[in-house]
Amino acid sequence: MSENEIKFLSFQEAAKLVAAIQEEENVHDQDRRILTVYNHDERELCWFDFEEVLQEVGPGGKQEQQAAVQNYILHHIPEWVLDL
């Protein structure tokens, strides 16, 4: 495994840690949206590029996409969030 490879939390660990996933404006690029992940103390853990995640999960109805986005994010929470 290379030094730059990201390790992810298990789905179960991530589900316990994550309290909310909010779609927000990217403060550095007003034309892009991000998905910010918060813990139960309302502390920001990490964020994902909205368009990249939508490309990964593919097309679907609004509720299907929302569930797919949440599932994708919970499978991709980096282990380093435990150090925050």
Residue in the structure block whose two tokens are 């994708």: 72
Q: Where are the domains of the chain?
A: 11-83
Q: What angle do CA 59, 30, 60 make, to 5 degrees?
A: 10
Distance CA 45, CA 39 (A): 7
Phi, psi for residue 44 in degrees, rounded to 5? -70, 130
pLDDT confidence of residue 3? 63
What band does 2 get if pLDDT is binned at 50, 70 and 90? Answer: low
Residue in the structure block whose two tokens are 């030094």: 3
pLDDT digits (tens, 9 = 90+) for 15-56: 999 999 999 998 888 889 999 999 999 999 999 999 999 999
Share of the chain above pLDDT 90, in %: 83
Are 79 and 9 in contact by the 8 Å Cβ rule? The answer is yes
Distance CA 19, CA 28 (A): 25
What is the residue-averaged pLDDT of the chain? Answer: 94
What band does 1 get if pLDDT is binned at 50, 70 and 90? Answer: low
